[in-house]
């Protein structure tokens, strides 16, 4: 039996990687993948706790997160394609028309 702390450590590492990626990468696809990484880190924590406490609520929550992530991916990728078509770039620093 693998102890709970291992799962949580892995979950934290995944989340931290996501945050780091989100902060330092400029490519919008990479940023998007970083967000997915954070969500999955959180998902891992959910299922770990659900297994540990023998409670189903955590697993149910994971499904919700997956659904939202799927929806987000659909919308987000659509936006990315639209941005690429109009701006000819995937660099977020160059997508700054609304910035003062």
Q: Please give the residue ranges that form the binding site for another protein (CB under 8 A).
A: 19, 22-24, 92-93, 96, 99-100
Q: How far is the CB of 42 from another protein (least distance, A)?
A: 13
Helix or strand (DSSP H, E) at 85? helix 57-87
Nearer to another protein, 2 or 100 (CB): 100
Q: How far is the CB of 63 from another protein (least distance, A)?
A: 25
Q: Are the C-beta atoms of 39 and 15 separated by less than 8 Å?
A: no
Q: How far is the CB of 99 from another protein (least distance, A)?
A: 4
Q: Specify whether the backbone of 99 is left (phi greater than 0), alpha (psi in -120 to 50) or beta.
A: beta
């Amino acid at each position: 039996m693998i102890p709970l702390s291992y799962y949580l450590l892995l979950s934290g590492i995944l989340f931290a990687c996501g945050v780091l990626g989100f902060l330092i990468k400029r490519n919008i696809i990479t940023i998007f993948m970083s967000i997915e990484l954070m969500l999955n880190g959180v998902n891992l924590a959910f299922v770990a706790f659900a297994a540990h406490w023998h409670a189903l609520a955590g697993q149910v929550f994971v499904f919700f997160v997956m659904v939202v992530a799927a929806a987000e991916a659909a919308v987000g990728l659509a936006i990315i394609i639209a941005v690429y078509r109009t701006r000819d770039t995937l660099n977020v620093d160059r997508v700054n028309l609304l910035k003062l």
